[in-house]
Structure 1
Amino acid sequence: MQPQESGVRYSRWDNSNRDEVSMTAMSSTEEPSCYRRLSQKLCSGKLGIAMKVLGGVALFWIIFILGYVTGYYVHKCK
């Protein structure tokens, strides 16, 4: 047996108006990649919510500091 591929395949037929979309599931013997496991752990559940909140707060402070520094140099008295 050949291992199943995971993903979605889309093929358009040349002489017809129908489109074909086929989805294949990952076989039970395959393990998800390291990146997929890490992203599932960090982006879902309570840990995922905490990571999104911390990311939003960090992004806020980065934009705030950049705006403050930019405003300082733009409005600096000579």
Structure 2
Amino acid sequence: MTSQMETNNTGTVQYDRWNESNINMNVEASQSTMMRVYNRMCTGTTGIIVKAGGALVTMVVIYIMGYATGYYVHRC
């Protein structure tokens, strides 16, 4: 009694359940637009650059808001 995953006498492996015509290997086409944008902009080297740029912009905005607030509070 042999299973389908064991090798047969010729040294090849049979995969009867796998029919390549039924498998969708195009993962990019099956994803939503938002997931494609997320995968491109938030992962890998590009993701690190985007996160660092976002942090820099956030710090500059907070600095400008603090400067303007301090100027108007202390201008007496």
Instruction: Please state which band the TM-score falls in when normalised by the shorter chain.
Output: 0.5 to 0.7
- Give the Cα–Cα distance (whole angstroms) in 1 for the partners of residues 71 and 57 of structure 2: 21
Q: Which residue of 1 aligns with 2:54?
A: 55
Higher percent of residues as helix: 2
Cα drift, residue 40 of structure 1: 0.8
Q: Which amino acid aligns with 1:57?
A: L
Tell which structure's C-alpha radius of gyration is larger: 2
**Structure 2: gaps (5+ residues):** 1-22
TM (normalized to structure 1)? 0.60
Provide the identity percentage.
37
Q: Which residue of 2 aligns with 1:3?
A: none
Q: Which residue of 1 aligns with 2:18?
A: none
Cα drift, residue 57 of structure 1: 0.2
Cα drift, residue 37 of structure 1: 0.4
Q: Give the secondary-structure state (helix, strand or coil) at the position aligned to 2:30.
A: coil
TM (normalized to structure 2)? 0.62
Query: In the TM superposition, what are the counterparts of 1:2-17 in structure 2 within 5 Å?
Result: none
Equivalent pairs, count: 51
RMSD: 1.8
**Structure 1: gaps (5+ residues):** 1-26
- Give the Cα–Cα distance (whole angstroms) in 1 for the partners of residues 72 and 59 of structure 2: 20
Higher percent of residues as strand: 1
Deviations 1:52-73 (A, max 9, x none): 0000000000000000000000
Cα drift, residue 32 of structure 1: 0.7
Q: Which residue of 2 aligns with 1:67?
A: 66
